[in-house]
């Protein structure tokens, strides 16, 4: 029976101080603490940037995998973001979760380099989630702009840059959509960890923005007892607590370091979130289910296709039509047989299903076209787990795994098991082993200098027939990357003779207690990979060239598998992995087939040194479980591409604004990154002088269509003392229905060195039938023209002329008008 909604004031009054403290940290990895005697239930949270995964990282109940945030942002469609929020709310319910973490700091989990576009898309997303009764946790607050040393790096950022670039998306989403929760980031901001940063949590978030909700830490992201509570982090996750043990908090209160009022406020915010998610009315946490809804399938396919950006389409080679193909033969190359549906890390989802590009295209063309596949490039980052041709100590297939609770391994193990390969991943805080030893007898069937790669959370060593061949003498450089499958391996080679038996043994000890991901400190884990020499060094390129040479069209699928683009680490290179193999594939194929089309699936811009050699390029991002169908829909013209870039694509890494600053340096022993590019992030950097033309491959807002549009009749009318209305006529001048994104930018006229030339201030997406026209009206206010004045602590607007520009991208401006601000003004933050 549902319980009545309690009076929070009365409930707090009835609770002991110890009970209130107990609410301020998780009960376990995903749930909050309940207090049955007081009628206080718990609620469950789930990761959910592109799908409500549930509690299990690996093979739990399947879930719908939606397009990644960067893919959604490419639609520039706030209403579509709201619909995705609706769908994810329904998915969260199938996993028993009432709060979802829908927004992330990793590139593919983020929306855009532009704060307005990011904030507006986030606002739509959050609205859709919460109108279905599931709370949104917007994250990571704040300045979580790199994964390198993310637990300890000090981001040094001026207040103006923070306000204008890094806090602005949060401000827009928080003020418009009012998310029920905010998650702090791991990093330090201007000398103070985010979870105990009073400037961020008290002055800005709760004070100036007037937000009322729950602040939770990222998992393992609390760094103190007193300071974190004082600053405003209500909930430490996960549980059991590390920093908020009842005795420690009570002692802080008794010594006057914390007030009982602070504890009351932190507990109140937990209880009020319980009310919002209706946990008092329905205290149950249902078992996780896999519910594969047809309406979610359709939404994912549609959203995935609409987020794909057509970057280049020379001679209108796309869309592909059967009648255009002389031989009726298409080469599928690269990653065509892989469904790149999401990035790695906590964004990973055990999807209901995955549609590959090959499957999508074969379904689209049926038997009318012959498809021939060749991979053409090695793209693996880690060697496959060592599982073949091995026997455990009893002669059975697999490895003997011995676990020890002490460092002394001379006696019998505390636990012994047989498993298929020697991979052992820790179970976070529940693991108690000090040493793990894996042993197997390997009898190869192929002679060669084969490859092995060992990685451990802590110091580890690999021996063959009693001789040590490799040792890792310290902790893994990135413990989270180890867990998520993206850590860089050191490969070693050993000569094996077919038919001879070798004893392979791995020993790994517990990691030391300092550095890295807090939840993985003093844990144990190992991974041993193996690959035959002939497989590692196989020539895949020649087969691909031969296949491409004989086809009407060569479709090369490039991109990042989840182990290349994942949480816990930044990109290894601006070029596609691995070691230039995919770039060589595209270059070689384009050399033998003049109709080469590249479909790239990454969550970030990448170098395209072959761009002038190929006919067309699609940026597909990570479009979710319907990836292959969404890509095929655009390739064949079932969906007219309407995506527009939410990020700039530079030509070279050296041209990027943060080049030389990232990933920082050691300052007095503290990893530090200085945001010296200031407000000139993304297109704001490239837009200055000749930079746009010389350094940008594809500009912010760019995207082609299979039809053409005309934007004309741009007019600016003063609607009120502080508001202008900008109107434009948009006409579809082509032969197929399509969508145009009208983008409005503004900047000082003449431009100032201290201010961006122009900044996105409004946008609208309009869909038109062939020949159809519509009038688009956008609004811009005086406050939209403001910059943050650090000396005065206000948003300031200078008197003078401002250029209002309407365009298809930041680089393709159709028309501009000038407005005048007669008198300088200011606005409180």
List, as one string, the DSSP characters of 301-321: HHHHHHT-EEEEEGGG-PSP-
Check: CB of residue 335 under 8 Å from CB of residue 556. no
Backbone angles phi, psi at 204, to 5 degrees: -85, -65
Instruction: Give the sign of the dihedral formed by CA 172, CA 175, CA 180, CA 181.
Output: positive
d(CA 284, CA 692): 55
Give the phi and the psi of residue 795 in degrees, each rounded to 5: -85, 120
C-alpha 507/C-alpha 154 separation (Å) is 35
For 331, 618, 736, the CA distances from 592, given in Å and listed in that order, are 12, 20, 32
Is 218 annotated in the active site?
yes
Q: Do residues 311 and 618 make contact, with C-beta atoms less than 8 angstroms apart?
A: yes
DSSP state of 463: E
Distance CA(139)–CA(101), nearest Å, equals 7
- Of 217, 215, 229, 233, the closest CA to residue 257 belongs to 229
Tokens of 306: 């609409």
Q: What angle do CA 701, 356, 388 make, to 5 degrees?
A: 125
CA distance 38 to 677: 52
CB 307 within 8 A of CB 643: yes
Give the single-character DSSP code of 277: T
- What is the phi/psi pair of residue 653, to 5°? -60, -35
Tokens of 110: 């983020």
Q: How far apart are CA 766 and CA 776, in angstroms?
A: 8
Tokens 């990035």 appear where? 343
Q: Which of 195, 218, 563, 749 is catalytic?
A: 218
Q: What is the DSSP letter of 109?
A: G
821 has which bridge partners? 800
Largest CA distance in the chain: 88
∠ CA(436), CA(437), CA(439), 5° rounding?
Answer: 150
Q: How far apart are CA 665 and CA 173, in angstroms?
A: 33
752 Cβ contact list (under 8 Å, min separation 6): none
Q: How far is CA 537 from the centre of its chain?
A: 32
Number of CB atoms found within 10 A of residue 368's CB = 10
Length of the chain counted residue by residue: 829
For CA atoms 168, 165, 742, 317, the dihedral sign is: negative
- Indicate the pairing of strand 553-559 with strand 596-601: parallel
Say if residues 730 and 814 touch (Cβ distance below 8 Å).
no
- Residue 240, helix vs strand vs coil: coil
SS3 84: helix
Nearby residues of 77 by Cβ (< 8 Å), 6 or more positions away: 306, 765
C-alpha neighbours within 13 Å on the C-beta side of residue 326? 5
Cα–Cα separations (whole angstroms), residue 389 to 398, 440, 451, 538: 8, 10, 15, 21
- The two tokens of residue 468 are 């040590």
Catalytic residues: 218
């Amino acid at each position: 029976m549902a319980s009545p909604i309690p009076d929070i004031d009365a409930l707090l009054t009835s609770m002991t101080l110890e009970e209130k403290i107990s609410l301020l940290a998780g009960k376990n990895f995903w749930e909050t603490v309940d207090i049955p005697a007081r009628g206080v239930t718990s609620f469950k949270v789930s990761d959910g940037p592109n799908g409500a995964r549930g509690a299990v990282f690996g093979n739990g109940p399947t879930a719908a995998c939606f397009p990644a945030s960067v893919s959604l942002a490419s639609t520039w469609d706030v209403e579509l973001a709201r619909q995705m929020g609706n769908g994810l709310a329904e998915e969260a319910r199938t996993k028993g979760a009432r709060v979802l973490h829908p927004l992330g700091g990793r590139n593919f989990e983020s929306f855009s380099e532009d704060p307005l576009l990011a904030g507006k898309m986030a606002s739509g997303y959050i609205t859709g989630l919460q109108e279905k009764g599931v709370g949104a946790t917007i994250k990571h607050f704040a300045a979580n702009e790199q994964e390198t040393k993310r637990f300890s790096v000090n981001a040094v950022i001026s207040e103006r840059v923070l306000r204008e670039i890094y806090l602005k998306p949060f401000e827009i989403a928080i003020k418009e959509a009012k998310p029920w929760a905010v998650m702090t980031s791991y990093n330090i901001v201007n000398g103070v960890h985010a979870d105990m940063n009073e400037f961020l949590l008290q002055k800005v978030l709760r004070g100036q923005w007037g937000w009322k909700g729950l602040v939770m830490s990222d998992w393992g992201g609390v760094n103190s007892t007193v300071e974190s509570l004082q600053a405003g982090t209500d909930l430490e996750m996960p549980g059991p607590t590390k920093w908020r043990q009842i005795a420690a908090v009570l002692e802080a209160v008794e010594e006057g370091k914390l007030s009982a009022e602070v504890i009351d406020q932190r507990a109140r915010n937990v209880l009020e979130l319980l009310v919002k998610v209706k946990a008092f009315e329905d205290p149950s946490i249902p078992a996780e289910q896999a519910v594969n809804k047809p309406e979610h399938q359709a939404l994912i396919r549609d959203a995935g296709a609409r987020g794909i950006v057509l970057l280049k389409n020379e001679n209108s080679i796309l869309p592909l039509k059967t009648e255009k193909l002389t031989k009726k033969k298409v080469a599928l190359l690269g990653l065509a047989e892989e469904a790149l549906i999401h990035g790695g890390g906590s964004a990973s989802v055990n999807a209901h299903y995955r549609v590959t590009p090959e499957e999508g295209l074969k379904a689209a063309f049926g038997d009318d076209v012959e498809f021939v596949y060749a991979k053409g490039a090695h793209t693996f980052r880690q060697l496959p787990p060592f599982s073949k041709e091995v026997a455990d100590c009893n002669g059975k297939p697999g490895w003997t795994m011995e676990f020890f609770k002490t460092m002394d391994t001379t006696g019998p193990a505390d636990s012994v098991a047989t498993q298929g390969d020697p991979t052992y991943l820790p179970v976070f805080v529940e693991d108690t082993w000090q040493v793990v030893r894996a042993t197997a007898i390997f009898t190869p069937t192929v002679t060669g200098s084969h490859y092995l790669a060992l990685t451990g959370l802590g110091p580890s060593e690999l021996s063959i027939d009693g001789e040590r061949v490799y040792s890792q003498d310290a902790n893994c450089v990135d413990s989270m990357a180890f867990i998520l499958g993206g850590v860089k391996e050191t490969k070693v080679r050993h000569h094996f003779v077919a038919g001879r038996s070798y004893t392979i043994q791995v020993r790994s000890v517990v990691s030391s207690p300092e550095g890295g991901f807090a939840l993985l400190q003093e844990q144990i884990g190992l991974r041993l990979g193996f690959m035959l020499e002939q497989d590692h060094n196989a020539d895949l390129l020649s087969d691909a060239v031969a296949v491409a040479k004989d086809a009407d069209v060569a479709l090369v699928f490039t991109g990042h598998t989840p182990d290349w683009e994942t949480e816990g680490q930044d990109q290894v290179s601006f070029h596609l992995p691995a070691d230039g193999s995919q770039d060589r594939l595209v270059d070689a194929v384009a050399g033998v087939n003049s109709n080469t089309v590249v479909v790239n699936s990454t969550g970030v811009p990448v170098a395209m040194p072959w761009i002038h050699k190929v006919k067309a390029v699609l940026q597909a991002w990570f479009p979710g479980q319907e990836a292959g169908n969404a890509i095929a829909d655009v390739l064949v013209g079932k969906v007219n591409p309407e995506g527009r870039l939410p990020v700039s694509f530079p030509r070279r890494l050296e041209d990027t604004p943060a080049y030389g600053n990232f990933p920082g340096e050691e300052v007095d022993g503290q990893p530090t990154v200085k945001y010296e590019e200031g407000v000139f992030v993304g297109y704001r950097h490239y837009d200055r002088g000749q930079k746009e033309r010389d350094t940008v491959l594809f500009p912010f807002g760019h995207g082609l269509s299979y039809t053409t549009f005309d934007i004309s009749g741009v007019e600016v009318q003063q609607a009120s003392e502080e508001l202008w209305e900008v109107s434009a006529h948009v006409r579809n001048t082509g032969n197929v229905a399509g969508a145009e994104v009208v983008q409005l930018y503004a900047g000082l006229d003449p431009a100032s060195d201290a201010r961006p030339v122009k900044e996105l201030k409004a946008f609208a997406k309009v869909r038109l039938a062939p020949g159809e026209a519509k009038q688009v009206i956008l609004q811009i206010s005086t406050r939209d023209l403001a910059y943050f004045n650090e000396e005065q602590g206000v948003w300031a607007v200078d008197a003078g002329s401002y250029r209002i520009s309407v365009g298809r991208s930041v680089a393709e401006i159709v028309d501009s008008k000038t407005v005048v601000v007669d008198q300088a003004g200011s606005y409180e933050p």
